[in-house]
């Protein structure tokens, strides 16, 4: 079924074309040709999502507040949402990691401008 | 290097809590396999993955600080050139075989919808019952469900949102979701000024690990010191989260692919397995818990809770279909069953937005930064489609074939020549 393995592909690159520039062209074509496959990728993604909603619709309990083991957990241990014990066990805090970015920016490894120009769409759409 | 469902794993086991996960490359490129097609960059939300020689050359992840570990590059690379570094498979097998360890498996909602693909089912097939039996067959002592803690998350996160809206707690709106560790690292790295907007709730698995020791263990009669807690996730970023010092109790994190590998290596015939259920104390869940696997699911689950709460715990509304589907940004204004007091007077609607893919979140973040965000609640999942399409899930059909198809088209005529020259 596999028409060409990766190894064969590289080999092909060697035999058929050889130069770096043509290598680039191959690259773009791989991508362009991939886009009609990528289209069906979103169909597969939809199938996964449909599986989830089908299951949800078939479940006896649909809401978190109706889950008997959730009620039990609050009764036995957590008291109420955001009670001191809930805060202690179930909540957290975050770290500012932006210093890494600043450092990489000063070293020329990261550019905020490039970051801001990343297209927002994904190819699988 | 081991191969799990077409993805390679270096098999590094970060040792203990001294490890700073921010220093680890969780994904990296095998330069000998990279065909320089650039697909990875088309998915990367941060510019972390780039050509290694300026504008060309095989790709590489340049710095772990820029990579949020979403794995979107990995699951879309047509050449299978991107690998994971961290894998706890060996350690988990050791723990299972160690009589002094009590092993607990906690699968994410998204596992049951995609593990099936590794065993010949079509995408989206839910195999909850078989998955649970399979985990027991592997030798886990207890199988709990992260959907239970997804429900718990909704109780906490919904309550937090309501308190932010009414002004009962002094935290800014909109409230962002906190269950996706790639999204969290994204904010921590690129939008630290927005951190007060992130819900203080741990992710479901963060809650599960902490609750397992102080609550679940007691209820189930387990010695919490013997517990070995395995988080099974559709996600590479969850490996990062499991190593965060703020998150306690996660001993190992594996992806759907690694779970499939473990089952296959033990020759477990998945299709033939009978169905069974997760252990009740932390294993019962609702539909709201299972839709966490889908983009918009956390929002819909939160709305089911809020609607009921605001109605005075009287009325329920289940379906909020406007937040479902693959659209990049989904917005909705939700009519509430009753008016609620807010800091700016009363309201009977709330506004929500859902970003399916963290690239879209940039738009929403910039709005919040400018003070023009109209929303109360924003869900962000780093992976387009949500966790069920996560970086740790099986590679979807079509991704790898892309290379082969192109070659078929462009070099069909050369096929014979290759045949003649190849050694295999
Ligand atoms: S998607 Fe894979 S093959 Fe293509 S450039 Fe990226 S790493 Fe290389
Ligand atoms: S894991 Fe995500 S952030 Fe890291 S290089 Fe890949 S796409 Fe980019
Ligand atoms: S969307 Fe889900 S799978 Fe993807 S990085 Fe976030 S938590 Fe992981």
DSSP for B7-53 reads EEEEEE---STTS-GGG--SEEE-TTT-----HHHHH-SSS-EEEEE
Residues A49 and A16 in one domain: yes
Distance CA B274, CA B131 (A): 10
Beta pairing class for B27-29 and B82-86 = antiparallel
Give the number of other Cβ atoms within 10 Å of residue B380's Cβ: 27
Q: What is the pLDDT, as a whole number, of residue A21?
A: 26
Residues A76 and A46 in one domain: no
What mean pLDDT is reported for chain A?
Answer: 78
Put simply, the answer to whether A2 touches B404 (Cβ < 8 Å) is: yes
Ligand index nearest the alpha carbon of residue B69: 2
Residues A47 and A21 in one domain: yes
Q: What is the pLDDT, as a whole number, of residue A4?
A: 39
For residue B84, which of B266, B249, B251, B253 has the smallest C-alpha distance? B253
Q: By alpha-carbon position, which residue is closest to atom 8 of ligand 3? A: B235
If 0-12 CB within 10 Å is exposed, 13-18 middle and 19+ buried, where does residue A100 land?
middle
Given a contact cutoff of 8 angstroms between Cβ atoms, the answer to whether B249 and B80 are in contact is: no
Residues A12 and A49 in one domain: yes
Residues A12 and A53 in one domain: yes
Given a contact cutoff of 8 angstroms between Cβ atoms, the answer to whether B159 and B377 are in contact is: no
Does residue B318 sit in helix, strand or coil?
coil
Angle B89-97/B256-265 helices, nearest 10 degrees?
50
Q: What is the pLDDT, as a whole number, of residue A11?
A: 37
Does residue B139 sit in helix, strand or coil?
coil
Does residue B106 sit in helix, strand or coil?
strand
Q: Where are the alpha helices (DSSP H) in B169-216?
A: 181-190, 204-211
CA–CA min distance A18, chain B (Å): 13
Instruction: Kindly state whether residue A37 falls inside one of the protein's structural domains.
Output: yes
Put simply, the answer to whether B65 touches A16 (Cβ < 8 Å) is: no
Instruction: Kindly state whether residue A3 falls inside one of the protein's structural domains.
Output: no
Distance CA B150, CA B299 (A): 12
Q: Which atom of ligand 3 is nearest to the CA of B393?
A: 3
Q: What is the pLDDT, as a whole number, of residue A22?
A: 28
Given a contact cutoff of 8 angstroms between Cβ atoms, the answer to whether B161 and B376 are in contact is: yes
Residue A110, phi-psi category: left (phi > 0), alpha (psi -120 to 50), beta (remainder): beta
Question: Bridge-partner residues for B298, per DSSP?
Answer: none
Instruction: Kindly state whether residue A122 falls inside one of the protein's structural domains.
Output: yes
Nearest-CA residue of chain A relative to B116? A48
Half-sphere exposure for A23 (CA within 13 Å, toward CB): 17
Distance CA B92, CA B262 (A): 10
Instruction: Kindly state whether residue A117 falls inside one of the protein's structural domains.
Output: yes
Does residue A98 sit in helix, strand or coil?
helix
Residues A77 and A109 in one domain: no
Given a contact cutoff of 8 angstroms between Cβ atoms, the answer to whether B154 and B302 are in contact is: yes
Tokens 């078989």 locate to B130
Residues A53 and A74 in one domain: no
A92-101 pLDDT, tens per residue? Answer: 999 999 999 9
Cβ contacts from A onto B, under 8 A: 332
Whole-prediction pTM: 0.91
**Sheet with B7-12, side-by-side order of all strands:** B2-4, B7-12, B82-86, B27-29
Put simply, the answer to whether A70 touches B151 (Cβ < 8 Å) is: yes
**Sheet with B345-356, side-by-side order of all strands:** B175-176, B377-381, B345-356, B329-342
Q: Which residues of chain A have a CB within 8 Å of the CB of B182?
A: none
Tokens 């690990």 locate to B209
Count, residues in chain A = 125
Q: Say how many domains are in chain A.
A: 3
Which tokens hold the place of B282? 């932390």
Instruction: Kindly state whether residue A125 falls inside one of the protein's structural domains.
Output: yes
Which tokens hold the place of B162? 């309501």
Distance CA B233, CA B2 (A): 19
Residues A41 and A15 in one domain: yes
Asked whether residue A2 carries a pLDDT value surpassing 70, the answer given is no
Q: Where are the alpha helices (DSSP H) in chain A?
A: 6-12, 20-58, 68-73, 84-90, 98-106, 112-116
Nearest-CA residue of chain B relative to A59? B287
Instruction: Kindly state whether residue A1 falls inside one of the protein's structural domains.
Output: no
Ligand 1 pocket test: which of B40, B49, B56 has the largest number of ligand atoms within 8 Å of its C-beta? Answer: B40
Q: Which residue in the set B156, B210, B316 is minimally distant from A82, CB to CB?
A: B156
CA–CA min distance B177, chain A (Å): 13
Residues A47 and A12 in one domain: yes
pLDDT band at A32 (very low <50, low <70, confident <90, very high): very low
Instruction: Kindly state whether residue A31 falls inside one of the protein's structural domains.
Output: yes
Residues A72 and A108 in one domain: no
Asked whether residue A14 carries a pLDDT value surpassing 80, the answer given is no
Q: What is the pLDDT, as a whole number, of residue B94?
A: 98
Element (H, E) at B300: helix B297-310
Q: What is the mean pLDDT of residues A98-118?
A: 97
Instruction: Kindly state whether residue A13 falls inside one of the protein's structural domains.
Output: yes
Q: Which residue in the set B38, B301, B304 is minimally distant from A27, CB to CB?
A: B38
Residues A14 and A24 in one domain: yes
Q: Which residue in the set A63, A104, A116 is minimally distant from B288, CB to CB?
A: A63
Give the number of other Cβ atoms within 10 Å of residue B367's Cβ: 16
Q: What is the mean pLDDT of residues A107-117?
A: 97
Buried b (16+ CB within 10 A) or exposed e, B169-189: eebebbbbbbbbbbbbbbbbb
Residues A124 and A102 in one domain: yes
Give pLDDT tens digits along chain B (424 positions).
Answer: 999 999 999 999 997 666 899 999 999 999 999 999 999 999 999 999 999 988 889 999 999 999 999 999 999 999 999 999 999 999 999 999 999 999 999 999 999 999 999 999 999 999 999 999 999 999 999 999 999 999 999 999 999 999 999 999 999 999 999 999 999 999 999 999 999 999 999 999 999 999 999 999 999 999 999 999 999 999 999 999 999 999 999 999 999 999 999 999 999 999 999 999 999 999 999 999 999 999 999 999 999 999 999 999 999 999 999 999 999 999 999 999 999 999 889 999 999 999 999 999 999 999 999 999 999 999 999 999 999 999 999 999 888 876 765 555 555 545 445 555 554 4
Concatenated DSSP letters of B249-293:
S--EEEEHHHHHHHHHHTT--GGGPPP----GGGT---HHHHGGG
Does residue B104 sit in helix, strand or coil?
strand
Element (H, E) at B99: none
The finding on whether B27 has its CB within 6 A of some atom of ligand 1 is no
Buried b (16+ CB within 10 A) or exposed e, A31-65: bebbeebbeebbebbbbbbebbbebbeeeebbbbb
The whole domain housing A68 covers 61-93
Does residue B372 sit in helix, strand or coil?
coil
Q: By alpha-carbon position, which residue is closest to atom 5 of ligand 3? A: B70
């Amino acid at each position: 079924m596999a028409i060409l393995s990766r190894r064969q592909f590289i080999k092909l690159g060697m035999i058929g074309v050889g130069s770096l520039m043509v290598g680039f062209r191959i690259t773009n074509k791989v991508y362009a040709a991939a886009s009609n496959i990528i289209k069906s990728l979103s169909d597969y993604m939809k199938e996964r999502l449909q599986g989830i909603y089908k299951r949800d619709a078939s479940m006896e309990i649909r809401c978190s507040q109706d889950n008997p083991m959730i009620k039990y957990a609050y009764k036995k241990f957590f008291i109420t949402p955001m009670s001191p014990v809930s805060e202690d066990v179930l909540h957290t805090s975050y770290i500012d990691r932006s210093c890494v970015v600043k450092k990489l920016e000063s070293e020329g490894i990261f550019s905020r401008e490039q970051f801001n120009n990343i297209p927002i769409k994904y190819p699988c759409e | 290097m081991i191969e799990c469902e077409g993805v390679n794993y270096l098999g590094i086991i970060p040792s203990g809590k001294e490890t700073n996960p921010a220093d680890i490359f969780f994904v990296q490129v095998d330069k000998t396999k990279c065909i320089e097609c650039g697909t990875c960059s088309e998915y990367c939300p941060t510019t972390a993955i780039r050509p290694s020689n300026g504008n060309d050359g095989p790709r590489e992840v340049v710095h772990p600080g820029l990579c949020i570990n979403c794995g979107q590059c990995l699951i879309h690379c047509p050449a299978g050139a991107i690998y994971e570094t961290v894998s706890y498979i060996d350690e988990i097998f050791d723990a299972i075989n160690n009589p002094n360890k009590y092993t607990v498996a906690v699968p994410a909602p998204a596992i049951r919808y995609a593990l099936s693909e590794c065993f010949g089912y079509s995408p989206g097939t839910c195999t909850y019952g078989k998955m649970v039996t399979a985990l027991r067959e592997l030798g886990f002592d207890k199988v709990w469900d992260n959907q239970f803690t997804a429900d718990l998350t909704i109780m906490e996160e919904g309550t937090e949102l309501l308190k932010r809206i009414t002004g009962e707690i002094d935290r800014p709106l909109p409230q962002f979701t906190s269950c996706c560790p790639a999204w969290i690292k994204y904010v921590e790295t690129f939008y630290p000024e927005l951190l007060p907007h992130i819900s203080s709730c741990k992710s479901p698995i963060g809650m599960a690990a902490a609750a397992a020791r102080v609550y679940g263990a007691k209820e189930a009669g387990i010695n919490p010191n013997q517990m070995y807690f395995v988080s099974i996730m559709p996600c590479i970023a969850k490996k990062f989260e499991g190593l965060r010092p703020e998150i306690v109790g996660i001993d190992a994190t594996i992806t759907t692919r690694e779970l499939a590998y473990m089952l296959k290596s033990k020759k477990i015939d998945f299709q033939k397995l009978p169905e069974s259920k997760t252990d009740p104390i932390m294993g019962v869940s609702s539909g709201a818990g299972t839709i966490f696997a889908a983009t918009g699911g956390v929002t819909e689950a939160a709305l089911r809770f809020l609607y009921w709460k605001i109605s005075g715990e009287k009325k329920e509304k289940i379906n909020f279909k406007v937040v479902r589907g693959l659209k990049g940004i989904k917005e909705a204004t939700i009519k509430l069953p009753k008016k609620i007091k807010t800091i700016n007077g009363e309201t009977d609607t709330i506004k929500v937005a859902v970003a399916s893919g963290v690239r879209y979140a940039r738009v929403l973040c910039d709005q919040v930064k400018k003070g023009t965000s109209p929303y109360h609640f924003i869900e962000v999942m780093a992976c387009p489609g949500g966790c069920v399409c996560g970086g740790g899930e099986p590679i979807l059909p079509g991704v790898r074939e892309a290379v082969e198809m192109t070659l078929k088209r462009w070099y069909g005529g050369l096929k014979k020549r290759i045949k003649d020259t190849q050694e295999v």
